[in-house]
Amino acid sequence: MSSIPTLQALLIDELKDLYHAENQLLKALPKMAKAASNPELKAGFTGHLEQTRGHVTRLARCLKSLGFPAKGKVCHAMLGLVEEGAEAIGLKGPAAVRDAALIGAAQRVEHYEMAGYGTARAFAQALGETKAAALLQATLDEEGATNQKLTEISETVNAAALTA
């Protein structure tokens, strides 16, 4: 990015950041699913893995429609969030407590992604890039639904963690 970025440069930078972030999640989600003991949480991670593949595809389409290759730039925030997920995976003790930690880590990821997709969508809208904005909104909607599902699962998991 140049020293004085344009709004389009900010959009491309955000898309590349998200592209790298989503590709990191493709590696992390199977590990989180394996570590989860709650069947609904395990299924949620597995289902979100498939959604994440679609997110990567949408981001590639956005980048290509703007004339850029589907290539990411290192997303340092997601590196940290994935590391926190790894810490949750490694927790010793009651499975319900580990599940609660996994949900917390996953919700931090979802909130980061919602912020990124919302920002990218706003940039695309401002630039009149309606196709990219629609693709980004579709992913933003899915991320919000995933976050809501995690909140619902947490009610059961947190109750189990209290008695663990």
* pTM confidence score: 0.94
Query: Can you read off the two tokens belonging to residue 99?
Result: 């599940």
Percent of the chain with pLDDT strictly greater than 70:
98
Kindly tell me the burial class for residue 18, based on how many C-beta atoms sit within 10 Å of its own C-beta (0-12, 13-18, 19 or more). buried
Q: What is the CB neighbour count within 10 angstroms for residue 53?
A: 15
Query: Can you read off the two tokens belonging to residue 84?
Result: 């926190």
Per-residue model confidence as pLDDT tens for the chain (164 residues) = 457 789 999 999 999 999 999 999 999 999 999 999 999 999 999 999 999 999 999 999 999 999 999 999 999 999 999 999 999 999 999 999 999 999 999 999 999 999 999 999 999 999 999 999 999 999 999 999 999 999 999 999 999 999 98
Residue 110 amino acid letter = E
Per-domain residue ranges for the chain? 7-162
For residue 86, the model assigns a pLDDT of 97
CATH 1.20.1260.10 fits 7-162, yes or no: yes
